[in-house]
Structure formats: C-alpha cells, structure tokens
C-alpha cells in the first residue's frame, strides 16, 4: 500500500498556495484532500495533479466558541472546487459578524494560513483558506 500524495506533500504545496489532489485513472474523478483511494469509485489507480484552486462556497458556519489555541469568531466553509470535490477551509476576508447567506455561491480562490500548532499537534499546521472574489 502506497500513498501517492502524502499529507506532507499536500501541506508543502499548500504553503505555496498550490492545491494538489488525486485524479482517478479509472473514473476521472478528483479526490482532495489526499486519500488512499478514489472518493467516487475506490480505485487505487490515482495520479497526483494540481487543481485550479477555484471553487464556490456551498455552506459555512461561524465559529463563536473556538477550540483551545484558536481565536473566535472565524468562518469555516465548504467550497465545491471547479474540479468537483468539496473542500473545507477557513473563509477569510469577510467579517464573521457580517457573514450572511449571501456568501453561498460566491466564487472563492484558495490560499493558506499557518497555524503554530497546539498541545494536541506535532507542530505547525497549514490550513486551507478561501477568499471570496467580488
């Protein structure tokens, strides 16, 4: 068993605002974030590809009570990427206190944010961000 795209490779690319995913050679579907098998057909015949980093917000929530080490409020959302899969990320550039249903359907561009890590993690973490484009 071999992971074509590791969490480390995914994170290193994300630091350069590049989104790596997996394309299935059997059904053509894209899988992101990295998994062992295709999300659609469970095939292991996958290749690493770079996705556009563009998508559309499908749903979001405003976090008011954060986990330890995070500062609220902030917005977590899911975007449907242009290539198909849905990806979770922090929606940035929008005041969480002003977030309304108008966010749904907005075009977003992928970016990233470094989190210094906390007592539950092994060090810094790289998080996906989405910036709504007007």
Q: Which residue stretch of 30-38, 67-75, 84-92, 100-108 sits at the interface with Zn ion (rule: CB under 5 A)?
A: 30-38
32 binds Zn ion (CB under 5 A): no
7 binds Zn ion (CB under 5 A): no
24 binds Zn ion (CB under 5 A): yes
43 binds Zn ion (CB under 5 A): yes
Half-sphere exposure of residue 89: CA atoms within 13 angstroms, side-chain side = 34
Task: Please state, in angstroms and as integers, the Cα–Cα distance from residue 72 to each residue in 46, 95, 110, 112, following that order.
Answer: 38, 11, 21, 18
DSSP states along 8-29: HHHHHHHTTT-EEEEEETTT--
Binder to Zn ion among 19, 38, 51, 91 (CB under 5 A)? 38
Which residues here bind Zn ion, judged by CB under 5 A? 24, 26-27, 29, 38, 40-41, 43
């Amino acid at each position: 068993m071999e992971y074509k795209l590791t969490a480390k490779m995914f994170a290193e690319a994300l630091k350069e605002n590049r989104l790596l995913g997996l394309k299935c050679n059997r059904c053509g579907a894209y899988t992101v974030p990295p998994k062992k098998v295709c999300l659609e057909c469970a095939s292991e015949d996958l290749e690493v590809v770079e996705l556009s980093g563009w998508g559309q917000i499908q749903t979001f929530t405003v976090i008011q009570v954060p986990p330890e080490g995070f500062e609220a409020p902030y917005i977590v959302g899911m975007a449907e990427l242009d290539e198909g899969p849905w990806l979770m990320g922090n929606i940035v550039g929008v005041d969480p206190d002003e977030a309304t249903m108008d966010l749904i359907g907005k075009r977003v561009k992928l970016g990233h944010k470094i989190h210094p890590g906390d007592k539950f993690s092994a060090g810094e973490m790289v998080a996906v961000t989405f910036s709504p484009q007007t």
